[in-house]
Amino acid sequence: FAAIYLVEYAREGKLVRLIRLGTETLAGIPSIIFGLFGMLVFVQGFGWGISLLSGSLTVTLMILPTIVRTAEEALKAIPRSLQEGSLALGATKVQTIFRVVLPAAFPAIASGIILAIGRALGETAALLYTMGSNYNLTSGLFDSTRTLAVHIYLIIAEGISTDRAFASAAILVMFILVINTSARFLIGRMGRMSRA
């Protein structure tokens, strides 16, 4: 929705340039800074402690700028004539955005989301500060837990078992492979449907 606002509704000016500069800057900030921010705001500020909720919101803030920038570029790439044709046929601006522009831009937007998910799956630094490293499965949003990437890091760092670390790494690689393969299939299918 932020990308739709920036492309379709916002007028070029200082505010829009400032928002774009902010999203570009946030997309390039190292994850450790997001971890410190999450620890300060979610863990200490809101009093949620080191928990699944704190870690999830921190990672969400970390990948959101990447998704916004990718979606904005995808929406800009849609030919203006496509929108004008829809409007000429009597569709409203909202109908044109949701029925013409977004379906045409979906493959590129989905690619940006996949890139952001890949960044989140490999994240360790931000999650050590906000989600913790509890070995047990979590039973609620306010319990500490660990992701596979953090699990691999801690097993190697503690020297417990390199066999388990490599097995966890293989599972993480397979998980990313399944996500990417599924996403490519869905993007291809959506692309064929939008051309039909």
Spatial contact of 139 and 51, defined as CB atoms under 8 Å apart? no
Token reading at 47: 């009093």
What is the amino acid identity at position 85? G
Distance CA 166, CA 164 (A): 5
pLDDT value for 117: 84
Return the DSSP state at 133.
-
Contacting residues for 117 by C-beta, under 8 A, at least 6 apart: 63, 179
Distance CA 86, CA 81 (A): 9
Token reading at 64: 């959101």
What is the residue-level pLDDT of the chain in tens, covering all 196 positions?
A: 889 999 999 888 898 899 889 998 998 888 899 999 999 999 999 999 999 999 999 999 999 998 999 999 999 999 999 999 999 999 999 999 999 999 888 888 888 888 888 788 878 888 888 998 888 878 889 999 888 888 888 888 888 788 888 999 999 899 888 888 887 887 777 667 666 5
Spatial contact of 79 and 159, defined as CB atoms under 8 Å apart? no
Strands (E), the chain: none
pLDDT value for 134: 85
Distance CA 10, CA 31 (A): 29
pLDDT value for 191: 67
Return the DSSP state at 12.
S
